[in-house]
Structures are given as C-alpha cells and as structure tokens.
Amino acid sequence: MPVVTVAFITTLIFWFFLHLSYTKRYHSFVKSFLDSNNNITILYNEDKITFINSVGLEFFGFKSVKDFNARHVSLSNLFLEEEGYISKYTYGKKWFEEIKMKNKRDTKVKLFSEQDQMDFYFQVEASKLKFTKQYLLSFNNITVLEQEKTNIKKLAEYDALTNIYNRVKLNEVIDGLIYRANRYDLKFSIILLDIDHFKAINDTHGHNVGDKVLIELARLINMSLRESDTFARWGGEEFMIVSESSSRQQASKLASRLRKEVSEHPFHMVGKVTCSFGVTEFKVGDKPSLLFERVDKALYEAKDNGRNQVVTK
C-alpha cells in the first residue's frame, strides 16, 4: 500500500476518534450544565423525553430517564388537573402545542413532588434547540407566588372571623346570578338573618364570647346548606344566604328550618341564641339595591313582630 494512502487512512481514523471524543465531551458538558440548573430541566423530542436533569429526577422520584420512559407514556401524565393550569388537553389543544405558543397565555403546570410529597406550581418554558428537533423544557418554581395569590384572593373574598364569604364576594355572586336570571329566566332567592339582642350577649358575656357566637353560628348554618347555596357575613351580626334556583316559598322553608336549628342549638357559654330572618325572591328587572331593600324590610318586620321568626316578601 502506498505510504500516502496509509497516511490518509491514519489521519481519517485519528480525526474520527477525535470527533467522537469531542462529541462525548460536549454531551457530558451539556449534561453537567443542565444538571447544575436548579430548575427541573427536560430535553424533549417528539413526544419522548431524552434527558431529565438530576433536580427533575429527584423531584419525580425516578432513577433515570429510562426509568421514567418505562413508566410514563407522556410527560403530561404528571400534570395535575386544576383550573388555570395546563393538563393533557388545554383549550382543546395538546399540552405541548399550548406550551410552544409562547406569550399567548400562562403556561403553568401543577406537579406532585415524590421527594417532598406535596404539590408544586411551575411556569414552563419551551425553547427549540438549533439544528435539532429537541426542545429544552424549563420548569420555574412559582409555588410561593401562586400560594400568595391564593391567600390574597382568600383575604379579599372571606371574612377573617367566621371564615365564610364576605360581602364583596356575595355581591359578586349576586351580580352573576342577576345576569343569569335576567337572561335565562332562572330564579334565586336571598335570606338575610340577624342575631336577636346580640348587644346583650356582648354586654353580658364580653366581646370575645360574642365573637365565638358568630363563629359557632356561621359553622352551624354552613353545615345545613347545600353546596350550591352561597353563605356570607353581610356585616356585624348579619348574615346572608343566596339560594340558587329557589322560589320564595322554598327559601322561606329553608329559613324556617334554620331558625329552628339555631334556636335549639346550645351555644357555648351563652346557651340559647335566636335569629330573625327576612326572605325574598329575585324579580326580573331587580337591581341589587332593590333586592336588598326588600329583604331588609322583611327582616325589619320579623324584628318588629317580636323576633325569632321568618318574614317573606
């Protein structure tokens, strides 16, 4: 064999191994780079996961990518269902299509951590890697942010003492029901209740005991209502129930049942407590103020007639 050919083949072999060694080093560099990332990072290629960094493996409780692929058909099997978060199919689209549509909508997912045995929230970003079909999925942990958002929402909608809805939320529910009632001819009724001689309870037992009575009453009534009823603290010692799809007769029956339950319940430290109830049904065209005025009048009459009773308008 001529010397030139031998030299050429040797160079070729040399270059081949050099290239192989570089590719290997490059891959191991990329892997250690992704492993050093504190976010869950995944390489995703046409419905298949080719790499999960060590943070991700620990989070999901898998030993390796192979272990993951053996147990999961798709990454979306791990997405927990919750409104506002991406699951297998979101807005009628496959989850990955949704994630790829950057900046259009929030691409948030809820995942269960095997490592911590609790749910976490993430913002997912997908970036296509140049010259490949691979996508780099990066999961940014937004759990604290999401929890704060939930807390703020709760503060805005709930009464701090009784832990039931407040007036702001109740007004929102009523606005929604009025819209539906006017449009689709659906009925609903409201009940306003007020503790009888509550001032005397405060004066006799102190404000703290008065507070406890409010909490106990809210719990007692809450247990007696349907899932579809909305129950809120209207203010002070007044509460309101919005009863969906109920006529004034049905709401009146509900109020009578509640009146009896309250009057028969032995309240801690205080004993017997009674409430007066006003009831009214929404009439097409009613503004919220008119509805409230009517129920207020009914309650006033119940008080005027001697308390511990229901008046329906």
Positions marked active-site: 237
What are the structure tokens assigned to 208, written together? 């703290």
Q: What is the C-alpha to C-alpha distance for residues 64 and 211, in angstroms, rounded to an integer?
A: 56
> Which 267-306 positions form the footprint of ligand GH3 (CB under 6 A)?
303
Q: Which does 211 bind (CB under 5 to 8 A by kind): ligand GH3, Mg ion, none?
A: ligand GH3
What are the structure tokens assigned to 274, written together? 């009674």
Instruction: Note the residues at the interface with Mg ion (CB under 5 A).
Output: 194-195, 198, 237-238
Q: 237 in helix, strand or coil?
A: coil
Nearer to ligand GH3, 134 or 202 (CB): 202
Work out the widest C-alpha separation in the chain, in whole angstroms: 121
> Which 104-163 positions form the footprint of ligand GH3 (CB under 6 A)?
161
Q: Which does 202 bind (CB under 5 to 8 A by kind): Mg ion, ligand GH3, none?
A: ligand GH3
Nearer to Mg ion, 286 or 296 (CB): 296
Nearer to ligand GH3, 194 or 216 (CB): 194
Q: What is the C-alpha to C-alpha distance for residues 137 and 232, in angstroms, rounded to an integer?
A: 44
Q: 57 in helix, strand or coil?
A: helix
Radius of gyration (C-alpha) of the chain in whole angstroms: 32
Nearer to ligand GH3, 75 or 201 (CB): 201
> Which 23-82 positions form the footprint of ligand GH3 (CB under 6 A)?
none
Q: Which does 199 bind (CB under 5 to 8 A by kind): ligand GH3, Mg ion, none?
A: ligand GH3
Quick check: 224 binds ligand GH3 (CB under 6 A)?
A: no
Contact 59, 40 (CB under 8 A): yes
Quick check: 236 binds ligand GH3 (CB under 6 A)?
A: yes
Q: Which does 159 bind (CB under 5 to 8 A by kind): Mg ion, ligand GH3, none?
A: none
> Which 174-213 positions form the footprint of ligand GH3 (CB under 6 A)?
194-199, 202, 207, 210-211
Nearer to ligand GH3, 66 or 197 (CB): 197
- Sheet-wide strand order for 108-113: 48-52, 40-45, 134-141, 118-128, 108-113
Q: What is the C-alpha to C-alpha distance for residues 32 and 30, in angstroms, rounded to an integer?
A: 6
Quick check: 216 binds ligand GH3 (CB under 6 A)?
A: no
Contact 94, 87 (CB under 8 A): no
Q: Cβ of residue 160: shortest distance to ligand GH3, in angstroms?
A: 10
Q: 294 in helix, strand or coil?
A: helix
Contact 201, 236 (CB under 8 A): no
Interface contacts to ligand GH3, rule CB under 6 A: 161, 194-199, 202, 207, 210-211, 214, 236-237, 303, 307
